[in-house]
Amino acid sequence: MRALAGGRRRRLRYNGAVIADLSSAVPMPPLEAPPNPILAVVTRNGLVESWHRGAVAVVHDGELVLQVGDAARPVFARSATKPMQALPFLERGLADRLHLPAEELAVMVASHDGAAEHTAAVRSLLARGGFDEAQLGCGPHAPFDQDSRLALLREGQRPGKVHNNCSGKHSGFLHLAAACGDDVAHYLDPHNHSQREVNAAVAAMAGLPGPLPTGLDGCGAPTFVMPLAALAQAFCRLANPGDQGPVRAAACRRIVAAAAAAPTLVAGAGRFCTALLRQWPGACFAKNGAEGVYAVALSPDPGRRRWPGALGLAIKIDCGNERGYQPVVVDLLHRLGALPAELPPALAAFHRLPVWNTQKLQVGTVHAVVSWDLR
Amino acid sequence: MRALAGGRRRRLRYNGAVIADLSSAVPMPPLEAPPNPILAVVTRNGLVESWHRGAVAVVHDGELVLQVGDAARPVFARSATKPMQALPFLERGLADRLHLPAEELAVMVASHDGAAEHTAAVRSLLARGGFDEAQLGCGPHAPFDQDSRLALLREGQRPGKVHNNCSGKHSGFLHLAAACGDDVAHYLDPHNHSQREVNAAVAAMAGLPGPLPTGLDGCGAPTFVMPLAALAQAFCRLANPGDQGPVRAAACRRIVAAAAAAPTLVAGAGRFCTALLRQWPGACFAKNGAEGVYAVALSPDPGRRRWPGALGLAIKIDCGNERGYQPVVVDLLHRLGALPAELPPALAAFHRLPVWNTQKLQVGTVHAVVSWDLR
């Protein structure tokens, strides 16, 4: 194996502004490290066709109770940190000042489908600060939601920035930048006041000393590098924020409540996140991140005999494919006693993901193959 | 790890007909086997974000000269076997009888983009036997080519079977079934005369005793299970079919010539296969298969000092992602001396695949990290 390029360009500039900053010490994942185990397989006619490796971390009441593979390896947490990135907005009282409905808070922490309900919520959220879509720093991409994508194309329209799955987060950042006195034209600069507040909130939730190193996310916002176990810790804290003081604790609870009130705003009608949010209304936050990242927060529940406290789960599929984590997350939640013995149909669909061919015949499944070592 | 489900339903039936048959002995890939090495990595701002593992086999003049990872592991070869699946059509003289132009032979061995040139060639190929699009057994899917996909949607049309990337192969199968006296309504049954001829041709090229076990491909055709090294052997034989008798050798040469004459028909203007075919006109066949499979045949060339004979390369990315093999294939071809020291721009673009974000900023690359052990 060759030594990997990288670790040199610690600060990346664009139009004079720093847009990514990895200058904090980030250990480079060793290429020769023991490989993470196989978490899920893809079958065809009963034979394994493809394999997905990865790592899992489970934090229970602040304690790392399970790691599969290398949970200390740093990952780009990508969109999984969105609930933490919204904390400064809430803690500055902006939600109350702007009379924000749950839908607009939900879309602020979403990787949304770009359907009509999402773009409407984002436009309303922008309008509350007199902002315009053109001020969004994220680039455009076609809506994830197929019907919305096709409708847009049939109307001869091009996808806009508002369709970007992160447009709610960016809208919140614009409000925050204005509240912090930043130049809103540079609201994505990781060194401005508002983004330093965001960085500090993410670091505190993850239990890490800040500032966290950041890379450039798909949408142009800073994305945070942290060990996978720290992401699980952040989600455990989201589920039970008691140690974060009353202001932050209230902000965490408001995010979980907004997601329960508007679960499709956080993702979309057929999406995995929305199915999980509906399973535990008001007691769950579930979030995907690009390149195979997923994290779940579950509030304390005495009904889970072995794990009655707050739970934070985080997973990274090494190859970056989301089909690798969906069955694994359901399998783990089942094993933790958070789901009934017989899986609810909405989650069973993700536990054994069907592989269809173009003739609409099922040729195989994607399913978990982990034997959870939970004593 | 749990024992995997599977290996039980050896014959899969649909509407009374066997559509997949794994009843030949196929060793189940052991889940606990040593993992294949990392072949490519995905970076973001200089840090590795994702990893792609896999196996590679290189056959030179019939001899396995390199294996990286487990090249003996059986894989579904998927669309990589399309040139071999077209051999019976040619060997029965159908191309001459039908006055087939190179474009229509090229589209018969293609995983095509569904652009206008592809659908026109497929429709012409069908018409030569009086066949109708409705007789195609493959299901519809949207064209891979973005412009064609958008144009179709803007016109309010739905993708048809003819847009399926395998529609050329299916059209050839219809002709072959008719020539063999099969009921063309069941031309995909692996037990009919024509598909047994196809199976025998694929097995002979791979140097394996037939019949090969088959699963159900994405398009509904039989897909063949074989060790990765046998796929490399089949491609080496395609590049130098001297040991296959004059009829088969002529058929192999005709496929390579058709791909050279119409390289966009085999894939599409921006596709990896087309770029490779253009690099060695008349001396190469390059083919993708779904779920991370790729194979290349290179004719003998004394200009390659260490490897002047016929070359067959095959690769399978464990997780099934095509971005994992493109840089690796270019890197390997370079290392084998088949490419100049300075890579041609058309292939350099696949050697370090840029990772873009929605702001059109390059945030990283996908690139090979293999140290080729070629003495």
Chain A positions touching B220 (Cβ under 8 A) are 357-359, 361
Rounded to the nearest angstrom, the minimum Cα separation between B187 and chain A is: 15
Residue of A319, A322, A320, A331 whose CA lies nearest to A368: A331
Contacts of residue A132, defined as CB under 8 A and 6 or more positions apart, other chains included, come to A126
What is the pairing mode between strands A47-60 and A63-68? antiparallel
Q: How many angstroms separate the CA atoms of A118 and A112, rounded? A: 7
Q: How many angstroms separate the CA atoms of A86 and A328, rounded? A: 27
The encoded tokens of residue A316 equal 């990274």
Chain A positions touching B28 (Cβ under 8 A) are 47-48
A7 has a pLDDT exceeding 60:
no
pLDDT score of B13: 65
Any idea which residue has 């063949």 for tokens?
B224
Q: How confident is the model at residue A4 (pLDDT cuts 50, 70, 90)?
A: very low
Residue A4's DSSP bridge partners are none
Give me the interface pTM, i.e. the ipTM: 0.93
pLDDT score of B153: 83
Q: Do A52 and A331 contact (CB within 8 A), yes or no?
A: no
Integer Rg of chain B from CA: 20
- Whole-number percent of chain A with pLDDT over 90: 86
pLDDT score of B8: 44
Chain B positions touching A51 (Cβ under 8 A) are 53, 318-319
Contacts of residue A12, defined as CB under 8 A and 6 or more positions apart, other chains included, come to A18, A19, A20, A21, A216, B45
Helix ranges restricted to H, chain A: 82-85, 87-91, 94-97, 102-108, 116-127, 146-154, 167-180, 193-206, 228-239, 245-261, 263-266, 272-279, 326-335, 345-351
Helix, strand and coil content of chain A, in percent to the nearest 5, comes to 40, 20, 40
Contact A216 B357 (CB under 8 A): yes
pLDDT in tens, B275-287: 999 999 999 999 9
Q: Would you call B156 exposed, middle or buried from its count of C-beta atoms within 10 A (0-12, 13-18, 19+)?
A: exposed
Three-class DSSP category at B198: helix
Residue of A201, A203, A220 whose CA lies nearest to A212: A203
Contact A8 B292 (CB under 8 A): no
Q: Which residues of chain B have pLDDT under 50?
A: 1-9
Alpha-carbon dihedral sign for residues A354, B114, B262, B179: positive
pLDDT in tens, A191-233: 999 999 999 999 999 999 989 999 999 999 999 999 999 999 9
Chain B positions touching A139 (Cβ under 8 A) are 357-360
Q: How many angstroms separate the CA atoms of B290 and A48, rounded? A: 14
Contact A22 B46 (CB under 8 A): yes
pLDDT in tens, A130-160: 999 999 999 999 999 999 998 888 888 899 9
Chain A positions touching B360 (Cβ under 8 A) are 139
**How many A-B residue pairs are in contact by the CB < 8 A criterion?**
210
Q: How confident is the model at residue A2 (pLDDT cuts 50, 70, 90)?
A: very low
pLDDT in tens, A253-303: 999 999 999 999 999 999 999 999 999 999 999 999 999 999 999 999 999
Any idea which residue has 């202001």 for tokens?
A247
Any idea which residue has 């329209």 for tokens?
A157
Q: How confident is the model at residue A3 (pLDDT cuts 50, 70, 90)?
A: very low
A24 has a pLDDT exceeding 80:
no
pLDDT in tens, A44-89: 998 899 999 999 999 999 999 999 999 999 999 999 999 999 999 9
Contact B51 A318 (CB under 8 A): yes
Average pLDDT over residues A179-198: 97
Mutate to test the interface with A, among B50, B165, B353 (most CBs of A within 10 A): B50
pLDDT score of A374: 78
Rounded to the nearest angstrom, the minimum Cα separation between B75 and chain A is: 7
The encoded tokens of residue B110 equal 């293609």
